[in-house]
Every structure is written in C-alpha cells, then in structure tokens.
Structure 1
Amino acid sequence: MSDLAGLRFASSRPLTLGVELELQLVSLRDYDLTRAATDLLASLPGDDSHGEVKLEITESMIEVNSKPRQDIAGIAADLEGLRALLVRHCGRNNIAVCGGGTHPFHRWPERRISPGERFAFLNERYGYLSKQFTVFGQHIHVGVRSGDEAIWLTHALNAHIPYFIALSASSPYMDATDTGFQSARLNAVSAFPLSGQAPDVADWAAFLDHMALLQSCGVAASIKDLYWDVRPKPEYGTVELRICDTPLSVARAVQLAALAQCLCRYLLRERPPVDPVLQTLVARHNKFQACRFGFEAELADPLRREPRCLATALEALLATLAGDAAALGCSGQLNALREITEARAGDAAWLRARAATGQHAFNELTRQAVERFAEPSIQGGGI
C-alpha cells in the first residue's frame, strides 16, 4: 500500500497566508544571470524573523518564503524585510536581485543545477528542462480547515487562474526576443508532464487514491512532483496557487496575495457552482489566452456557454470582492489591481514600454528592473 494512504492534512486557521517568491540573481557587470545562489546563501545572517531564503533549482535563482500570517500587513512586512535583506547582501557580493517571470536574454545551457538531492533528482528525471526551468514565479498559500475543503477550493480556484496570470504577467521576453506573450514563463512550466489543472477528484480520500495510483505506477513519488496550477499542501494545511509570474515589485506580490485571500474567503462563504469536468474542457484554452493576450484575452465560460473578455470579467470579480477586501483589510491592494485592470497595463506592459533598441537593450532593461525591485515598497496602493 502507498505511504500516501494515511497522509494527514494538517488543519490551518482559515485564510492564513504564506507567499513564496523566486527571484533572479544578476551580475552588475552586464545584468545577465549569474551563478551566485550558494555563495549568497552562505553569507546571509541567520535572522529568520521575516521568513527564510532558500536555494532553487539553478544557481541563478533564490527563493524567499514569508512566515504564515493571518493578514496582508504581515505578509507585506515579511516580503519587504526579505527584499531589503537580499538587496543589501547582494550589493555586498557585487550582484543584484530582481523580479520578473523570465530573464530577458540569458542562455539556459549556461545555468548550473544547485546542490541538493531534490535538485539532482529533477535534473536526472527532466534533463535539459531542468535548466530551462530557470523561470521565476510567485506561489501563494491559503490556509483551510480540512483536506476536503482543500480539494473543493482547488477546483474552485481553477476557474480564476487566468485572472492571476494577467495580473502577474511579467515575462514578455526570452532569448533576447519579444515572445508576443504577456507571460512566456508558463510555456516552460507547461513542458512538465504533471503540470496543468488538477484532475476531477471529489474529496481528500479520492485525492489520496489518485496519488497512490501515480506513486504505484512510478509517475510521482510525492505531492511535490505535481506541478499543478493549484494544489493542496497537506503538511502546511493550505491550498497553493502556483500560477503567477514573480512581479517586478514587492507591492504587486502583496496585491496578488491579497486577491487570493479575498477570493478564497468569498468562495468558501458563497460556495458557487464548481464543475471540474467542464472547467477541464476549457482550462488549456483559457490559460493560453491569458498568457498570450493578458487583459485582452477572450475566456471561454463553460457554465454560461459564452466567451468573456478577461478584463471585463476581472473588473466584475474585483467589485464582487469589495466586501471581503474590506473585512480583511485588503481594500487598498484590490483597488490597485482594479487600476491596472482598467488601464490594461501590468508589469509586462511596463517592461515593453521601457525596452529600447540597440545592442545592449535587454541589459539596460534588466538594470531598470533591478532598480525597481530595489525601491522600498510604499503605503497606500502598494502596501
């Protein structure tokens, strides 16, 4: 029998938040990615008051994790503290740190896999995809009370994935080329066989049966082998939303976390109709539309059986969540997201507006992204 059969879902206080950010490490000489994660981590102080800094799959990445927090103010303080720590210590090591879902011009064969058993396993299993996985995302954890609630919320959130893609999109460039996408990062994620939408499992027991099947067939050794857009995280007692590009600023990362918390509060309270089978029929189409066109995407609504403009639907959702935002102290963050939705302009648009022509255009663009991340977040619409 699979050792997953008795896996316990650790109940959490509802709507507790946690945020992970994968960040780029770049050289101050040319703003290309640099192999610095292990040395940087060794030089960091042991203070974990705002969370932790960890290695990611290649040496050109670093991951920061907030502590579990009940409100958005705690998340904002953690991410700002971790940002300031990294900016300061990167400067001492003659490197820099920035956000963005992809680096605009790095060459993936030059990447080096980070030390560690898990990273070695991924490199062995996935080959060159492991180095191409030098892309950068934001993950948001939301606490729930039970495994059954986690499975229901996983399915309910899947219908809202395109909104998070459009709002976080910050990866229009790869290989020194404008891809035409708002989020090109997710094309790299989609190459992995266990990526995409969670299957139609009814409850926690059905999920464990599904995982036991995958494990017994040698498909997945554990839940962390699942690169689903949304997945349960039983050891934390959370549902993990994994679809966002890493934003260019901590402020935007906080806004996205606020949206996730408000949306989960609304979904768990109202329990709107959820049909995972119908949603699966349009999930890949809707994800592609959001990645390619961002706010201008045309989404397929399988319940209404009609297309919907992403920006129009998102504006309606943000209006619906106004009461939840007020109750959770997130009104400022959701107002900021409403403004960029109305303007149809997020981080991808910011990058394109600043992209210049010439031999060193993408070096300069990355330098500007470094400067943006280095700026402390402000109160009001930001944090």
Structure 2
Amino acid sequence: MRTFGVEEELLLVDPDSGQAVPRALALMDCYRQLLPELVRNNSADPPLPEFKGSQLATEFQQEQIEIISRPHSSLAELAADIRAGRALADECAKEVGARTAALAMAPLPTVPHPAPDERVGIMIARYGLTAREQLTSGCHVHVSVESDEEGVAVLDRIRIWLPVLGALASNSPFSQGIDTGYASFRGQAWSRWPSTGPLEIFGSAAAYYRTIEQMLATGVVLDKAMLYFDARLSTNYPTVEIRVNDVCLDADDTVLIAALTRALVETAARDWRSGKAPEPVPVAILRLAAWQASRWGIEGDLLHPVTARPCNAFDVIDLLLEHVGEALSESGDEAQVQRLFGQLRGRGTGARQQRDALERTGSLEGVVTEAIRRTHTPSVDVMSAEVGPTATV
C-alpha cells in the first residue's frame, strides 16, 4: 500500500470583516508554545518522543498558514489527520484574533505582507509584482514511489489526468473583490510564475534531471524549490508531489482528491511496469485542458484526456474513475470515493459553494464567514463516523 500525505495552505482572516490578516508569525508563536502540550497528550502507547500529528508552517505571505499531514497508508487515518490539522491551525489562529478559511484566493481586496525571510525578499526583488501579489492557497498531495525511475514514469502517465483533479478541487472564483468568472482563478494567478504548468514526457529519471539542470542554468528560476510544475519529484521525500489543486473548502473534498491521486499514481506505476506507454499528448494541449478546468471547474465541458475534444465534465470524471477503479478497489477506497464524489456532485465544488454563499448573504464578507464554517464543519460521511467526527490532535 502506497503511503500518502497532504499539505494544505489556509487563509488567515479577520472573523468580523472577512479581510485576510497577516497573523502567521504570531500564530506560529502560539503553535510553538502549544507543542509541548501536544507531545504530552498524544495518544500513542508508549508516548512518542515528539509530536507526530499534523505540523504547521509559514508560507510566502503572512496571511497564510500551511498544514502538513503525516504520511498514512489508510484513507481514514489521513482523513482524521486532515481534519485535526485544520482544527489545530484554527485553534492557534483564534489565539491571535483570526480564523482559518480554506479559500484558494482572498475574496476581498488584499495587499499581502511577505514573510520576513531572506529568500522571500530575493524573490520579490527578482519577480516584482508577481511575487508581491502572490496570495494563493493550494493543496499538494504526496504519494510514495519506490525510486526516481518509477516516479518519473508516474509523472509521464498522470499528466493527462491532472486537469480533472484541478476541476474537482476548484475553489477560487473571487479575487480582489470581484467574481473573476473562473472556478479556479488561482490557476491563472499561479501561472504567472516562470516554471509552472504541465511537463513533457521524459522517459527516464536522467532526462527529468537533465531538464531541471538546464532550467536552473538559465538563472530564471531561483532554485529547485521554485520548480512549480503541476507534478514533480519531491526534493524532500521519496514521493511524487501533485500540486495542481486549489485548497478544498470541505475537508471531505481533500480526502477525495488524495484518494484519487494515490490511485492515479498506483495505476501509472502498474502501466509502466507492464510496458504501457504514456499517452503522447503535447504540453500545448495540456495547457488548454488546464485552462478549461480553471475556467469552468465541473460546471462546463472538460477536455478528454486523450483526444482533447470537449466533453461533459462528468463524463470525463467517469473516465478517471474507470481508469483508477482497480487501484481504488484493491486499496479498499472505492466505496468511499464513490460516496465522496456523490457528495461533491450534489453540493458542488468550493467555487460553487462560494457563489451560492454570495447569493444567500449578498456580500463577500458573508462568503468568508461561510467559508470559515465550511472549513471546520465535521463530516457526516460514514468514514468520519468511524474515525470520530470531532477528531483532535
């Protein structure tokens, strides 16, 4: 069973005004003070020598905080960790007069405050307005691989499916006080960086690393950490890291995306071992597929992953579910994924829920208030009942 983990970036907001607020440094001070208590109260037997729950970390802007889950082999355990991490981040945010909201972009007008970090300062000097305005929150899924060769083979084969994941996770219709017209405007804002987007087919780890060396040699990107591909080999863990998704408003959607991602990786690895070649879809077409997913989410056509012809979004999602069906069945995740997808289809993505909140409340402040509630609403799903709807760290 492949292990997997999730990194979620949350927005820090004022609970009254809905404005994004630069409280990350104060929140981290609270978190560090809380760590000894978390270590003492962990439920391991015997007690663990250090805290093993979700970790918090700062991000590029002080209006954000990142939650880093542990690696898990069980979907139920990962789901509990995701919810517990959100609860931990919000507990610390409350201590500094803020709340956390799983919003991929700030709905209200915001001027971000960069983290007081030397590397961040260098990036702002080099990339100008792109860096100064950067305030997007993503969800990154890590899935274990046995080697770099397997990892690159996986990257070669999952690339055509990543726009479908992005559509399911779409959660950024509003930015700077307006409706952008997109389901995921984060995808548009993020593409301003010089090293984002889909990758070509490499065929080997050597070819992958050769491309990275060539990119670094140009001097355009600062370092390896700035290789913001839609999916990449992690530089810190023996994983592939899928980075295409908005942070999901509902934790259940994060769980769904994580399960589908692990199944995609497992299916790709099996195809590689069996000698099945990756689909030779050009990068130019993948960029169009990503734009289409960013524009409409699941409420319009998506591009067919192989033919690139427009198709009903749910027909394309059905193709994805069929593609990874065997892997989902063998991991025991199939019934849960079907349940979570049915739930998402019924209520809509985060983008749809944000637009519905605007219609109900009449204000973007109301959208943020509703987002805070949705970020921390316990799941009523069967799996949550098994792990406990109020799971804590």
Same fold (TM over 0.5): yes
Whether the 8 Å contact between 2:156 and 2:203 is mirrored in structure 1 is: no
Q: Which residue of 2 aligns with 1:136?
A: 137
Partner Cα distance (2:364, 2:371) in 1: 10
Distance 1:90 1:310, change over 3 A: same
Aligned with residue 33 of structure 1, among 2, 20, 45: 20
Which residue pairs with 1:10 in the alignment? none
Alignment partner of 2:84: what SS?
A: helix
Once the two structures are TM-superposed, the CA of residue 92 in structure 1 deviates from its matched residue by: 2.4
Cα distance 1:333–1:126, how it changes in 2: closer, same or farther (>3 A)? Answer: farther
Q: What stretches of structure 2 of length at least 5 have no aligned partner?
A: 39-50, 388-393
* In structure 2, distance between residues paired with 1:84 and 1:123: 32
Q: Which of these residues, 59, 64, 67, is aligned with residue 61 of structure 1?
A: 64
Structure 1 residue 285, shift from structure 2 partner: 0.9
Partner in structure 1 of residue 278 of structure 2: 274
Q: Does structure 1 residue 291 correspond to structure 2 residue 278?
A: no
Deviations 1:225-266 (A, max 9, x none): 111111111431111110111111222111110111112222
Match of 2:357 in 1: 354
Q: Bigger shift: 189-198 or 345-354?
A: 345-354
Aligned match of 1:105: 108
Q: C-alpha displacement at 1:337, in angstroms? A: 4.2
Aligned partner (choices 309, 313, 317) of residue 310 of structure 1: 313
2:2 is aligned to: 15
Superposed displacement of residue 341, structure 1: 6.4
* Alignment gaps of 5+ in structure 1: 1-13
CA distance in 2, matches of 1:26, 1:344: 24
Aligned partners of 1:361 and 1:68: how far apart in 2?
Answer: 39
CA–CA distance in structure 1, aligned partners of residues 347 and 289 of structure 2: 18
Deviates more, 1:323-332 or 1:120-129: 323-332
Query: 2:258 aligns to what?
Result: 257
For the structure 1 residues 337 and 160, does the alpha-carbon distance in structure 2 shift closer, same or farther, using more than 3 Å as the test? farther
Q: Among all aligned residue pairs of Structure 1 and Structure 2, give the percentage whose two residues are the same amino acid.
A: 25
Q: What amino acid sits opposite 2:178 in the alignment?
A: T
Q: 1:283 to 1:305 in 2, by over 3 A?
A: closer
Q: Distance in 2 between matches of 1:92 and 1:260?
A: 35
Q: Distance in 2 between matches of 1:221 and 1:378?
A: 44
* Aligned match of 2:372: 370
SS at match of 2:154: helix
Q: 2:317 aligned with 1:330, yes or no?
A: no
CA RMSD of aligned residues (A): 2.2
- The Cα of 1:177 is off from its aligned counterpart by 1.1
In the TM superposition, residue 284 of structure 1 has moved relative to its aligned partner by: 1.2
The aligned residue for residue 5 of structure 1 is none
How many matched pairs? Answer: 366
Deviation at 1:325, TM superposition (A): 1.9
C-alpha deviation, 1:270, in angstroms = 3.3
Amino acid at match of 2:366: E
Residue 101 of structure 1 deviates from its aligned partner by 1.2
How far does residue 299 in structure 1 lie from its aligned partner after superposition? Answer: 4.0
SS at match of 1:50: coil
Name the TM-score, length of structure 1 as normaliser: 0.89
- Post-superposition Cα deviations, 1:289-308, rounded to whole Å, max 9, x if no partner, equal 11111224434447446443
Q: What amino acid is the match of 1:195?
A: T
Q: CA deviation at 1:200?
A: 3.5
2:342 aligned to which of 339, 342, 366: 339
> 2:91 is matched with which residue?
88
- Equivalent position of 2:169 in the other structure: 168
> Which deviates the most, 301-310 or 328-337?
301-310
Task: Decide whether the 8 Å contact of 2:171 with 2:184 is kept in 1.
Answer: yes
Is the partner of 1:371 in helix, strand or coil? Answer: helix
| Alignment partners' CA distance in 1, 2:374 and 2:343 | 17
Question: In the alignment, which residue of structure 2 is the partner of 1:8?
Answer: none
Query: Equivalent of 1:73, from 76, 85, 102?
Result: 76
Task: Say if 2:69 and 2:81, in contact at 8 Å, map to a contact too.
Answer: yes
Distance in structure 2 (CA, Å) of the matches to 1:375 and 1:305: 37
After superposition, the Cα gap between the structure-2 partners of 1:238 and 1:202, relative to the gap in structure 1 and judged at 3 Å, is same
Structure 1 CA distance for aligned equivalents of residues 378 and 256 of structure 2: 15
Distance 1:274 1:66, change over 3 A: same
CA 1:333–1:166: 2 relative to 1, 3 Å: farther
What amino acid does structure 2 have at the position aligned with 1:68? P
Find 1:51's aligned residue among 39, 50, 54.
Answer: 54
Q: TM-score, normalised by structure 2?
A: 0.86
